[in-house]
Amino acid sequence: MAVTMLNTDITHRSARWLDRTEYRLCCPRCRRPRSGCYCSVISPFESEPRFIILSQPREAKHRLGTGRMAHLCLANSALFQGVDFSDDDRVNREIGDPANCPVLLYLSRFSINLSRLVESERQRLFTNDRKLVVFVLDGTWKSVRKMIRLSKNLARLPTICFDPPTPSAYRIRREPRPQCYSTIEAIHQVIELFTFEAAPYGPFSRPHDTMLGVLRSVIERQLTYTA
């Protein structure tokens, strides 16, 4: 009887150890624990404009960050980590490419507010002979300001912004204001403002709307853990 009880206890402890091990195993693509992997709901697509996501290193490691999430959704995007990108060859190559029209998504008093332009004005905003490339800073408001201050090449770029049409749906992280968007929401809204032709899709089934579907999936799963 004693041996049976001992074996049962070992089995239970082994099961608990296996459960913890399973949780710690991370997906190499989304870098989430296997139990929270969202790769199965991603449908990558090529966006217009194209996006270069610059993640602050601490933000890049945050388990609830959306910079990598957005990058995985956008097949033609790039994701770089850093704080000072002044001498980053990859960033400077994108900025200096004569085929690109680089801009920075950043709210300032000098920014062009896309939401306050009519569609025809947005269409004429950037030349057709160059591809619009939008740099997006992925981090907290404090860390983003530091990235701008240090990255002289980014500080020289023209900036764009928008008025959030709805409060952020990113309920699992605290934002300074309800209108402060996560990185993936901000990118989705920029794509929305540069989508000029009606596509043959039903409601919420346009390619860029799948980004919000991925975000909703992550939020709903996370809320089940905290319920």
- Cα separation values, 125 from 17, 111, 132, Å: 58, 13, 10
Q: Which of 113, 115, 116, 161 is nearest to 137 (CA)?
A: 161
pLDDT tens digits for range 13-52: 444 443 555 556 889 888 888 888 999 999 999 999 999 9
Q: Which of 167, 139, 165 is nearest to 151 (CA)?
A: 139
By the 8 A CB rule, do 101 and 130 touch? yes
pLDDT tens digits for range 37-96: 999 999 999 999 999 999 999 999 887 789 999 999 999 999 999 999 999 999 999 999
